[in-house]
Structure 1
Amino acid sequence: MTTGGLREGRRPRALSPLREHLRDTFWFAPAATMVLVFVVWTGASSLDTRIVETLQEAGEYDAIRDLVGIAEDARTVANTISSAMMTFIGVVFSISLVAVQMASGQFTPRVVRFYVRSRITKATFAVFLSTFLLSLLVLTSATVETDPRRVTTVPLVQSLLMIVMLGLSLVLFVMYVNATLRLMRVSHVIDRITAESFRMVALMPTAGASAAEQELGPVTAWVAHRGRAGVLRDVNISRLVKAARQRGVVLRLVPRIGDFVVPGTPLLAVHGGPAPSVRSLSYTVSVGVERTFHQDFAFGLRQLADIGLRALSPGVNDPTTAVQAVDRIVQFLATLARRPLHASLHRDRQRAVRLVQPVPSWSELVDLGFAEIRGAGIGSPQVTRRLVAALDDLLLVAPEERRPPLERHRELLAEAVRQAVPAAADRDFALRPDRQGIG
């Protein structure tokens, strides 16, 4: 079975282009919530009207006078809430801009997606705007009539709904500030990236496929990319397996997830027969402007390496952050050290291979995790000591056939330190393994 971390026969779900587009926008959640609040307000307004009509039919005019008094208080509260909500919205928007600017400047532009797709941020904006809208609607419903026989409606239920929305806004504001402050701390950002990466690894089927690729035979047809240029974010595995089964062929994805694809370049190699029809291959590829964690083995490692590089830049000069990034790189690579890599095999119900999906090899993952940080951190003993310890730890957990890339990086690190550090004592200190860098 090639589906690591999944139940038998289950495959990762394909990305929904519409869902991904909506998650990358800020307008949908507030707009949908405001429409929902307007619908609820309409029902509450009808209920308020029904309450007044019932009291008038029963001759309970004193109760109506009391409700009119309550309506006057509700009008005052609605005025206050409408003004306060605009202030709150401005504060939330300002905090978001500052957080995004800090994350992009101090960590990496790739982590901005966490803020853009943050559910708590969108929920806070949505509820604040909906509370503001509801307060305006309550103001329009507030009665100025004092004669209980001529009163048509009193915003009683509407006022209660407004108070509930106000309470929810306050709770969400506290949660939003807490979540934003967490995402402004590099340790939480690194932990979030690592968690996303492991979630993707658990869902992505992998298997050693070198023997299977040799059995595919020659390429009998090519399928070119027909969509727009962009980053290959996802392929619909189920549709591709179905299309290959109908033709009795095996499809091999040429670019890897995360590669930039251009119209007219090869997208699929066909083995064993003619290419599937254009219709059967429609909506099988998702292309976007940036990479996502979905099906992308190396994206989390890329972000961790970017954070380490940014921390080691002369403008930041923060080797401790680089060490934190290396900690998670080691965790990620140690998890994959004994996992079959090279390609993912996807089979149909008859257990025949129908789709071969390339993934980064072990050597490529090691290079991605260490090459750039190793080059940028030569002048920092804290980083070099952590890198030596990291490579030593991975050499202990990696099988024999996966040790050469690690040994190569260790030798290159030692050679670079020997060339950059003239004093022998300093060289020995810089190459002494230390999991905390300089504890």
Structure 2
Amino acid sequence: MGNEGQISHTDGPRRPKAFSPLREHLRDTFWFAPMAGLVGAFLLWWAASSLDHEIIASLQREHAYTEVRELVSLTEDTKVIVTTISSAMLTFIGVVFSISLVALQMASGQRTPRVVRIFIRSRISKLTFTVFLATFLFSLLVLTSYESEPNPRQVTSVPVVQSLLTLMLVGLSLVLFVVYVSATLRLMQVGPVVDRITQETLRMLARQGTGAEGTGSEVPSAPETGRVAHEGRAGVVLDVHVARLVRVARRHGVVLRLIPRIGDFVLPGTPVLAVHGGTVPPRRALRYTVSVGRERTFHQDLGLGLRQLSDIALRALSPGVNDPTTALQCLDRIVQILAAVARRPLGTVHHRDRRGAVRLTQSIPDWTALVDLGLTEVRAAAVHSPQLTRRILAGIEDLLLLAPQGRQEPLLRHRTLLLQAIARAVPAAADRRFASSPDRQGIG
């Protein structure tokens, strides 16, 4: 990796996040929260129904039939409300679902299909659907608790608590609907979307740790003794279960090396892990340690944020859209992410056990790869837009101030290539000078 550093982790501090891959995978699904909400609604109804039974039984033991008669009269009035709620909630759910589809279609068409994941991971969207479905199911279950027997001495249950809980769920649904519409409208705007992508990337960097500069001697020197092939469907490497791999390597006295990078596409039968210094651990010990899926995620993928921002900028610069200001907003965030990693050690991540021995190594994009990912395609598409060329040059100047001396070469290369492209594409000398002047706002 040349002058790139190595990042070292130990499995001790990382143990609280041992199941973080599972948590991240569940966040990338839209079925888990609503299903959990339906189960919770059933349990809530069962508890409320038991409480209603206990209330009526207590009143009947005390021969308080007048109170029972009053409760029955009250619930007869609320039965109409609960019936209306149960029929209206299904329509309400359809409205929310339609809003979501429109928002997804607009985001996918105007930006990039990869930002759909932002909507899928949105907590407010999942919470809104969950509460709506839970309210619908709860109201249906409450209707089964109403009895037609008017005799207070023979009533076994009066759904008083259930009716109150139904009204509370309806009130919560209305509040969440207002919040959901507001959040969805924000996510349909460019600024909040690129900000969400940037924040996801910065959070991933924080989880990864700051690390420490290392030397080449830290790289495991034991010879490679075997490889572990990928079994299952072809797909993208989403993440690795670091804590489990470190434990397996420590238990078998080996060092494991992740061959593909996070985000690489792997085929069945291709190697994913190399073993150094011992025998290959059994296959059962390595199950569920390397996650492969259909689409890249932010969990451990350092380059995904830059990839998405670059895609949005390229879509904005296409002839059909022609929106350089959106591309400029993406450039602002690209520069922000590059500035965040300008002084971080990159290249190789070393995961250590409690004794400090390296047990797992994996490759991550180095500084040059990240700069190329963030600037290459946008730079090539922005030649005819002085707003963007001026912003790119200003961003490169800012990064040159932040990056150490050994990391300035790719930045200087991109600045030279951009100036050469401007010289070829812009015939007038005055226009060339204008397009070649750095400006953080592009053109005001």
TM exceeding 0.5: yes
* Contact 1:68–1:143 (Cα < 8 Å) also in 2: no
Partner residue of 2:33 out of 7, 29, 36: 29
Distance in 2 (CA, whole Å) between partners of 1:364 and 1:128 is 45
Partner residue of 2:410 out of 399, 402, 405: 405
Instruction: Tell me the SS of whatever aligns to 1:141.
Output: coil
Deviation at 1:380, TM superposition (A): 0.9
Q: In structure 2, give the amino acid aligned to 1:389.
A: A
Structure 2 residue 73 is the aligned partner of structure 1 residue 69:
yes
Distance 1:22 1:273, change over 3 A: closer
Instruction: Tell me the SS of whatever aligns to 2:285.
Output: coil
Describe the superposition over 1:311-332 as per-residue Cα deviations: whole angstroms up to 9, x where unpaired: 1111111111111111111111
Q: In structure 1, give the amino acid aligned to 2:413.
A: R
Distance in 1 (CA, whole Å) between partners of 2:49 and 2:355 is 60
* Contact 1:232–1:258 (Cα < 8 Å) also in 2: yes
Partner residue of 2:101 out of 91, 97, 110: 97
Distance 1:149 1:298, change over 3 A: same
Describe the superposition over 1:150-175 as per-residue Cα deviations: whole angstroms up to 9, x where unpaired: 33332211111111111111121122
What percent of counterpart residues are identical?
63
Find the counterpart in structure 2 of residue 10 from structure 1: 13
Greater relative contact order structure (CA < 8 Å, 6+ sep): 2
Map 1:184-263 onto structure 2 (within 5 A): 184-205=188-209, 206=211, 211-212=216-217, 216=221, 218-263=223-268
Moved more, 15-24 or 151-160: 15-24
* Contact 2:220–2:255 (Cα < 8 Å) also in 1: no
Distance in 2 (CA, whole Å) between partners of 1:136 and 1:252 is 54
Name the Cα RMSD after superposition: 2.3
Distance in 1 (CA, whole Å) between partners of 2:154 and 2:252 is 76
* Contact 1:15–1:286 (Cα < 8 Å) also in 2: no
Q: TM-score scaled to structure 2, two decimals?
A: 0.92
Find the counterpart in structure 2 of residue 158 from structure 1: 162
Find the counterpart in structure 1 of residue 398 from structure 2: 393
Moved more, 259-268 or 407-416: 259-268
Distance in 2 (CA, whole Å) between partners of 1:73 and 1:51 is 19
Instruction: Tell me the SS of whatever aligns to 1:280.
Output: helix
Deviation at 1:20, TM superposition (A): 4.7
Distance 1:102 1:110, change over 3 A: same
* Contact 1:207–1:342 (Cα < 8 Å) also in 2: no
Deviation at 1:217, TM superposition (A): 5.3
Instruction: Tell me the SS of whatever aligns to 2:362.
Output: strand
Partner residue of 1:128 out of 102, 121, 132: 132
Structure 2 residue 310 is the aligned partner of structure 1 residue 305:
yes
* Contact 1:209–1:344 (Cα < 8 Å) also in 2: no
Partner residue of 1:382 out of 381, 387, 391: 387
Deviation at 1:399, TM superposition (A): 1.1
Distance in 1 (CA, whole Å) between partners of 2:270 and 2:344 is 31
Structure 2 residue 438 is the aligned partner of structure 1 residue 433:
yes
Distance in 2 (CA, whole Å) between partners of 1:55 and 1:19 is 47
* Contact 2:220–2:358 (Cα < 8 Å) also in 1: no
Distance 1:51 1:212, change over 3 A: same
* Contact 1:208–1:343 (Cα < 8 Å) also in 2: no
Distance in 1 (CA, whole Å) between partners of 2:54 and 2:248 is 59
Distance in 2 (CA, whole Å) between partners of 1:364 and 1:276 is 33
* Contact 2:6–2:348 (Cα < 8 Å) also in 1: no
Distance in 1 (CA, whole Å) between partners of 2:54 and 2:206 is 55
Deviation at 1:371, TM superposition (A): 0.2
Find the counterpart in structure 2 of residue 182 from structure 1: 186
* Contact 1:345–1:353 (Cα < 8 Å) also in 2: yes
Distance 1:218 1:39, change over 3 A: closer
Distance in 1 (CA, whole Å) between partners of 2:427 and 2:166 is 71
Q: In structure 2, give the amino acid aligned to 1:346.
A: H
Distance 1:142 1:243, change over 3 A: closer
Map 1:52-63 onto structure 2 (within 5 A): 52-63=56-67
Distance in 2 (CA, whole Å) between partners of 1:346 and 1:352 is 8
Distance in 2 (CA, whole Å) between partners of 1:218 and 1:57 is 81
Structure 2 residue 308 is the aligned partner of structure 1 residue 264:
no
Structure 2 residue runs without a partner (length 5+): none
Distance in 2 (CA, whole Å) between partners of 1:195 and 1:187 is 12
Deviation at 1:32, TM superposition (A): 2.4
Deviation at 1:68, TM superposition (A): 2.1
Q: TM-score scaled to structure 1, two decimals?
A: 0.93
Find the counterpart in structure 2 of residue 287 from structure 1: 292
Structure 2 residue 337 is the aligned partner of structure 1 residue 332:
yes
* Contact 2:24–2:299 (Cα < 8 Å) also in 1: no
